[in-house]
Amino acid sequence: MLTKDLLGEEQVVLILTSADSNTRLATRLGVSKQAVSDVRRGNTHQAIRIDLPRYTEHRRRRFSPKEIAAIRASKDSYGQLASRYNVSRGAIADIRLGRTYRDLIYVNTDRALQHCHKCQHWSESCRLGFPEAELDPAFASECNLYAI
């Protein structure tokens, strides 16, 4: 196996431009997965092709922000969405429930889905102290602190 120090410019360019996973690239180039990860994150080989983008947090995401908004706004079942996007129902559930892609702002145009009783700040009453939540649980659609 080659060490990460023996990667040439061609291999570094391949690592930075390929959509393949770190594991697949490591096997293909005969280096460790860590060596590939280090190049992508900019920990090694920074001087080679500085014009190519290095690792970013959102580079390897499966869904675009537009797709996330469509999944969250859709009235289709988890199974239908899973088939459409070729992922598991659990992945769709995680997106809808805010367990994944939570850095993307949750915008829900269907007011009926935003309900104070579904908020993480709800426990028999609004723990944030909003009296409106007691009178109208649909207040969640107007609440800036509403959180799933």
> Total structural domains in the chain?
3
**One domain, residues 39 and 83:** no
Using pLDDT thresholds of 50, 70 and 90, give the confidence band for residue 27.
Answer: very high
pLDDT tens for each residue of 47-58:
787 776 665 544
Centre a 10 Å sphere on the Cβ of residue 36 and count the other Cβ atoms it contains.
28
Check: CB of residue 76 under 8 Å from CB of residue 51.
no
Q: What is the mean pLDDT of residues 84-110?
A: 77
* Closest CA relative to residue 103, chosen from 145, 68, 137: 68
- Give the chain's mean pLDDT: 78
**One domain, residues 5 and 48:** yes
Alpha-carbon span 87 to 53, nearest angstrom: 28
* Closest CA relative to residue 40, chosen from 68, 60, 69, 63: 60
Helix or strand holding residue 65 (H, E): helix 65-73
Alpha-carbon span 148 to 134, nearest angstrom: 18
pLDDT value, residue 95: 87
Name the least confident of 2-16, 82-96, 98-112, 122-136: 98-112
Name the least confident of 26-40, 81-95, 119-133: 119-133
pLDDT value, residue 73: 82
pLDDT value, residue 84: 92
**One domain, residues 129 and 83:** no
**One domain, residues 90 and 132:** no
pLDDT tens for each residue of 30-86:
999 898 888 887 788 877 877 766 655 445 668 887 888 888 888 899 999 999 998
| Residue 40, domain extent | 1-60
Q: What is the mean pLDDT of residues 7-26?
A: 86
**One domain, residues 3 and 52:** yes
